[in-house]
Amino acid sequence: MAWLSLWNGYNAFYGRSGATALPADITRTTWSRFLDADEPMHALVAENSSGLLGLAHFLFHRSTIQRGPSCYLQDLYTVEASRGRGVARALIEEVYRRAREAGAPRVYWQTHETNATAMMLYDKVAEKSGFVVYRKML
Protein backbone atom coordinates (compact mmCIF):
# COMPACT_ATOMS: atom_id res chain seq x y z
CA MET A 1 0.00 0.00 0.00
CA ALA A 2 1.58 3.27 -1.16
CA TRP A 3 -0.04 5.32 1.64
CA LEU A 4 1.93 3.30 4.16
CA SER A 5 5.27 4.55 2.82
CA LEU A 6 4.10 8.16 3.27
CA TRP A 7 2.72 7.36 6.72
CA ASN A 8 6.01 5.76 7.75
CA GLY A 9 7.95 8.76 6.40
CA TYR A 10 5.71 11.16 8.32
CA ASN A 11 6.15 9.22 11.55
CA ALA A 12 9.92 8.97 11.05
CA PHE A 13 10.06 12.76 10.51
CA TYR A 14 8.58 13.17 14.00
CA GLY A 15 10.84 10.55 15.57
CA ARG A 16 8.33 7.72 15.62
CA SER A 17 10.41 4.96 14.04
CA GLY A 18 12.57 2.06 15.13
CA ALA A 19 12.16 1.51 18.87
CA THR A 20 9.70 4.41 19.10
CA ALA A 21 7.58 3.38 16.09
CA LEU A 22 3.82 3.37 16.36
CA PRO A 23 2.40 -0.10 17.02
CA ALA A 24 1.08 -1.79 13.86
CA ASP A 25 -2.45 -1.90 15.31
CA ILE A 26 -2.48 1.93 15.49
CA THR A 27 -1.61 2.13 11.79
CA ARG A 28 -4.26 -0.48 10.93
CA THR A 29 -6.88 1.40 12.97
CA THR A 30 -5.95 4.71 11.37
CA TRP A 31 -6.21 3.24 7.87
CA SER A 32 -9.57 1.60 8.64
CA ARG A 33 -10.97 4.92 9.85
CA PHE A 34 -10.24 6.49 6.46
CA LEU A 35 -12.27 3.74 4.80
CA ASP A 36 -15.25 3.94 7.20
CA ALA A 37 -17.98 6.28 5.92
CA ASP A 38 -19.21 6.81 9.50
CA GLU A 39 -15.87 8.16 10.70
CA PRO A 40 -15.18 11.93 10.68
CA MET A 41 -11.55 11.25 9.70
CA HIS A 42 -10.34 11.71 6.11
CA ALA A 43 -7.17 11.24 4.07
CA LEU A 44 -5.82 13.00 1.00
CA VAL A 45 -2.76 12.17 -1.03
CA ALA A 46 -0.91 14.23 -3.60
CA GLU A 47 0.57 12.32 -6.49
CA ASN A 48 1.98 12.67 -9.95
CA SER A 49 3.10 10.19 -12.59
CA SER A 50 6.18 9.28 -10.54
CA GLY A 51 4.22 8.38 -7.41
CA LEU A 52 2.90 9.75 -4.14
CA LEU A 53 4.21 13.12 -3.06
CA GLY A 54 2.42 13.86 0.20
CA LEU A 55 -0.50 13.25 2.50
CA ALA A 56 -2.97 15.17 4.62
CA HIS A 57 -5.21 13.69 7.30
CA PHE A 58 -8.03 15.76 8.70
CA LEU A 59 -11.09 15.30 10.85
CA PHE A 60 -14.24 17.16 11.74
CA HIS A 61 -15.46 17.68 15.29
CA ARG A 62 -17.99 19.73 17.20
CA SER A 63 -17.07 22.95 18.92
CA THR A 64 -18.43 24.90 21.87
CA ILE A 65 -17.92 28.24 20.11
CA GLN A 66 -19.60 27.71 16.73
CA ARG A 67 -22.49 25.83 15.16
CA GLY A 68 -20.59 24.26 12.28
CA PRO A 69 -17.88 21.66 12.78
CA SER A 70 -14.24 22.53 13.20
CA CYS A 71 -11.75 20.92 10.84
CA TYR A 72 -8.53 19.75 12.42
CA LEU A 73 -5.68 19.12 10.00
CA GLN A 74 -3.92 16.46 12.02
CA ASP A 75 -1.16 15.27 9.71
CA LEU A 76 0.55 16.95 6.76
CA TYR A 77 3.61 15.47 5.11
CA THR A 78 5.44 15.69 1.80
CA VAL A 79 8.31 13.51 0.67
CA GLU A 80 11.61 15.32 0.90
CA ALA A 81 12.10 15.57 -2.88
CA SER A 82 8.75 17.39 -3.20
CA ARG A 83 9.26 19.99 -0.50
CA GLY A 84 9.15 23.59 -1.65
CA ARG A 85 7.24 22.65 -4.82
CA GLY A 86 3.71 23.56 -3.72
CA VAL A 87 2.58 20.09 -2.64
CA ALA A 88 1.85 21.00 0.99
CA ARG A 89 0.09 24.21 -0.07
CA ALA A 90 -2.10 22.25 -2.51
CA LEU A 91 -2.99 19.73 0.21
CA ILE A 92 -3.87 22.54 2.64
CA GLU A 93 -6.00 24.26 0.00
CA GLU A 94 -7.86 21.01 -0.66
CA VAL A 95 -8.52 20.61 3.07
CA TYR A 96 -9.85 24.20 3.08
CA ARG A 97 -12.15 23.34 0.16
CA ARG A 98 -13.49 20.23 1.85
CA ALA A 99 -13.97 22.08 5.13
CA ARG A 100 -16.02 24.78 3.38
CA GLU A 101 -18.04 22.07 1.67
CA ALA A 102 -18.75 20.48 5.09
CA GLY A 103 -19.83 23.82 6.58
CA ALA A 104 -16.77 24.19 8.79
CA PRO A 105 -15.97 27.85 9.48
CA ARG A 106 -12.35 27.12 10.41
CA VAL A 107 -9.43 24.79 9.83
CA TYR A 108 -6.66 24.60 12.38
CA TRP A 109 -3.53 22.59 13.02
CA GLN A 110 -0.36 22.51 15.06
CA THR A 111 3.27 21.86 14.26
CA HIS A 112 6.40 21.39 16.26
CA GLU A 113 8.17 24.62 17.15
CA THR A 114 11.33 23.39 15.41
CA ASN A 115 9.57 22.88 12.06
CA ALA A 116 10.69 26.25 10.69
CA THR A 117 10.44 25.25 7.04
CA ALA A 118 6.80 24.28 7.37
CA MET A 119 6.02 27.40 9.40
CA MET A 120 7.23 29.60 6.54
CA LEU A 121 4.39 28.15 4.45
CA TYR A 122 1.88 28.16 7.31
CA ASP A 123 2.50 31.85 7.91
CA LYS A 124 1.42 32.46 4.30
CA VAL A 125 -1.77 30.36 4.31
CA ALA A 126 -3.10 30.86 7.85
CA GLU A 127 -2.60 32.89 11.01
CA LYS A 128 -1.10 31.85 14.31
CA SER A 129 -3.77 31.49 16.96
CA GLY A 130 -1.56 32.45 19.88
CA PHE A 131 -2.57 29.34 21.80
CA VAL A 132 0.00 26.99 23.33
CA VAL A 133 -0.70 23.25 23.38
CA TYR A 134 -0.50 21.32 26.65
CA ARG A 135 -0.84 17.58 26.95
CA LYS A 136 -0.48 14.78 29.44
CA MET A 137 -0.07 11.24 28.26
CA LEU A 138 -2.19 8.84 30.28
Cα–Cα distances (Å) from 124 to 1, 44, 119, in that order, read 33, 21, 9
What would you report as the CA-atom Rg of the chain, rounded to the nearest whole angstrom?
15
Cα–Cα distances (Å) from 27 to 12, 24, 40, 44, in that order, read 13, 5, 17, 16
pTM of the model: 0.92
Look at residue 11 and give its three-state secondary structure. Answer: helix
pLDDT at 134: 95
70-78/106-108 β-pairing: parallel
* Mean pLDDT, rounded, of the chain: 94
Residue 71 lies in a domain: yes
Residue 134 lies in a domain: no
CATH code assigned at 7: 3.40.630.30
Residue-wise pLDDT tens digits, 32-58: 999 999 999 999 999 999 899 999 999
In which domain, by residue range, is 31 found?
2-125
